[in-house]
Structure 1
Amino acid sequence: MDQQVTDGRIRRGDQTRRVVLSKAVDVASVDGLDGLSIGRLAGELDISKSGLIAHFGTKEELQLATIRAARAIFVTTVVAPALETPPGSKRLRLLLEGWLAYSSDRRFPGGCFFARASHEYAARPGPIRDALAVIDEEWVRLIAETVAEAQEAGEIDPTVDPAQLAFDLSAFLDAANLRSLLGDDSVYDRAYRSMRDRIAAVSLS
Structure 2
Amino acid sequence: MTIRGAEPETATTVPSSDGRRRRGDRTRTAVLDHAVQRASVDGLAGLTFGTLATEAPATKSAIAGLFGNKEGLEIALVQHARGIFLAAVIEPARAAAPGLDRVWALVQGWTAYSRTRTFAGGCFFRAVETEVDSRPGPVHDAVVAVRREWDGYLEHHVGLAVAGGDLAADVDPAQVVFELVALLGTANDRSLLLDDDGAYDRALAAVRTVLVAHGADAARLA
Find the partner of 1:111 among 88, 102, 122: 122
3-state DSSP of counterpart to 1:107: coil
Q: Does 1:121 pair with 2:142? A: no
Q: Does the CA contact (< 8 Å) of 2:31 and 2:57 recur in 1?
A: no
Alignment match, 1:22? 33
Q: Please give the root-mean-square deviation of Cα atoms over the aligned residues, in Å.
A: 1.0
Give 5+ residue unaligned stretches, structure 1. Answer: none
Change (3 A) 1:151 1:55: same
- Residues 62-115 of structure 1 show CA distances to partners (whole Å, capped at 9, x for unaligned) of 011011000000011101111232212111100011001100100000000000
Paired residue total: 205
Alignment match, 2:71? 60
| TM-score when normalising by structure 2 | 0.90
Map 1:181-200 to 2 at 5 A.
Answer: 181-182=192-193, 183-200=195-212
Task: Give aligned-pair identity as a percent.
Answer: 44
In the alignment, the residues of structure 2 paired with residue 19 and residue 170 of structure 1 have an alpha-carbon distance, to the nearest angstrom, of 31
In the alignment, the residues of structure 2 paired with residue 204 and residue 19 of structure 1 have an alpha-carbon distance, to the nearest angstrom, of 43
- Residues 157-179 of structure 1 show CA distances to partners (whole Å, capped at 9, x for unaligned) of 11000000110110001111111
Q: Does the CA contact (< 8 Å) of 2:43 and 2:131 recur in 1?
A: yes
Alignment match, 2:187? 176
Map 1:1-205 to 2 at 5 A.
Answer: 1-182=12-193, 183-205=195-217
| TM-score when normalising by structure 1 | 0.97
Give 5+ residue unaligned stretches, structure 2. Answer: 1-11, 218-222
Query: By percentage of residues, which structure has more helix?
Result: 1
